[in-house]
């Protein structure tokens, strides 16, 4: 029951955040779970949480920038640039 209450409170706290904060929170939580499962110790969970938090914040920050689109170059690398105008 306590776990359910903690999860409910965490979900409610994320509801009032900006997209950057939501992305960081979700990334950190996911990274911590994956890191903990992959290594079986707290250090792996901490590293996974840190990496996931940074990645989530970057993705969340980009999604707040209107007029910016994701593209891939011919090598498959993602980059961000202005969206095309006028329906080309």
Per DSSP, the chain holds a count of helices (H) and strands (E) of 3, 2
- Length, in residues, of the chain: 88
Q: According to the model, what pLDDT value does residue 81 have?
A: 85
Q: According to the model, what pLDDT value does residue 10 have?
A: 61
Q: According to the model, what pLDDT value does residue 69 have?
A: 80
The residues with which 68 forms a beta bridge, in sequence order, are 82
Distance CA 23, CA 64 (A): 11
pLDDT tens figures, 8-49:
556 545 555 566 667 777 778 888 888 888 888 888 888 888
Question: Of the candidates 25, 28, 59, which has an alpha carbon nearest to the alpha carbon of residue 45?
Answer: 28
pLDDT at 52 over 50: yes
What integer best gives the mean pLDDT of the chain? 74
Where in the chain are the domains?
Answer: 16-82
């Amino acid at each position: 029951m306590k776990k359910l209450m903690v999860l409910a409170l965490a979900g409610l706290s994320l509801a009032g955040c900006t997209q950057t904060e939501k992305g960081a929170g979700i990334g950190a939580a996911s990274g911590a779970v994956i890191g903990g499962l992959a290594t079986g110790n707290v250090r792996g969970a901490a590293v996974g949480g840190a990496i996931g938090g940074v990645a989530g914040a970057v993705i969340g920050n980009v999604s707040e920038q209107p007029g910016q689109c994701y593209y891939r170059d011919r090598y498959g690398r993602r980059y961000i640039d202005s969206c095309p105008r006028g329906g080309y």
